[in-house]
């Protein structure tokens, strides 16, 4: 699991700073800059570790306190993790001020925001509210890469529409274009 999480994080960074999200008029975003990145659903910190290794400032949030306890244990051992800030919070209710983050990364966590929700209208409301909140906490020209595992094409469409309807543009990347579920990346940029 650790290897897959770290591999997905490295791929997400390639997408975050890749050409797919560039505008012709936009200055290239330099991946060497020291950005503040939100690790959305950080779990035990595999993604945060990679982000810190690459020189980024990271705030990790997770709703599960036992996950945060595991990464806090790592912080006490590894000097390079001391700057990592951890917050116990729900992705659906983010405790951050507007325009705080340069970029947001979420590895294998975002699909859980509707995991226990069966009513389609409730799913749409949660997804729209969360996408709107992400838009607010992201700085201008901020980008998001979400790696997740939608259950089916209908849920994938709901996730995608929630971002498009809330001020984002971008792309979807699947390992196999015919896949109905499985690993999917949403590459998003806040509209100017």
Per-residue model confidence as pLDDT tens digits over 32-49: 678 999 999 999 999 999
Question: How much is the mean pLDDT over the chain?
Answer: 89
Q: Which of 9-23, 72-86, 169-183 has the lowest mean pLDDT?
A: 169-183
pLDDT class of 23 with cuts at 50, 70, 90: low
- The domain limits of the chain are 2-18+34-182
pLDDT class of 50 with cuts at 50, 70, 90: very high
Q: Does residue 65 surpass a pLDDT of 90?
A: yes
At residue 178, the pLDDT reads 65
- The DSSP code sequence of the chain is -HHHHHHHHHHHHHHHTSGGG--SSSPPP-TTS--EEEEET-TTSHHHHHHHHTT-EEEEEES-HHHHHHHHHHHHH-GGGTT-EEEE-BTTB----TT-EEEEEEES-GGGGGTT---HHHHHHHHHHHHHHHHHHEEEEEEEEEEE--SSHHHHHHHHHHHHTTTEEEEEEESSTT-SSS-EEEEEEE--
At residue 80, the pLDDT reads 82
Regarding predicted confidence, which is higher, 25 or 113?
113
CATH 1.10.3720.10 fits 2-18+34-182, yes or no: no
At residue 24, the pLDDT reads 47
């Amino acid at each position: 699991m650790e290897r897959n999480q770290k591999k997905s994080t490295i791929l997400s960074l390639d997408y975050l700073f890749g050409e797919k999200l560039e505008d012709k008029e936009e200055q290239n975003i330099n991946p060497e800059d020291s950005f503040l990145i939100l690790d959305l659903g950080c779990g035990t910190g595999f993604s945060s570790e990679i982000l810190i290794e690459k020189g980024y400032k990271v705030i990790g949030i997770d709703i599960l306190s036992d996950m945060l306890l595991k990464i806090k244990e790592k912080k006490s051992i590894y000097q390079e993790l001391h700057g990592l800030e951890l917050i116990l919070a729900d992705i659906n209710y983010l405790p951050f001020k507007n325009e705080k983050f340069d970029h947001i990364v979420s590895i294998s966590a975002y699909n859980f925001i509707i995991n226990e929700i069966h009513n389609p209208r409730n799913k749409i409301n949660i997804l729209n509210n969360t996408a709107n909140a992400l838009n607010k906490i992201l700085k201008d020209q901020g980008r998001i890469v979400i790696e997740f595992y939608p259950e089916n094409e209908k849920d994938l469409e709901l996730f995608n529409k929630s971002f498009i309807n809330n001020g984002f543009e971008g792309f979807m990347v699947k390992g196999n274009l015919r896949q109905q579920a499985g690993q999917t990346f949403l590459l998003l940029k806040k509209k100017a």
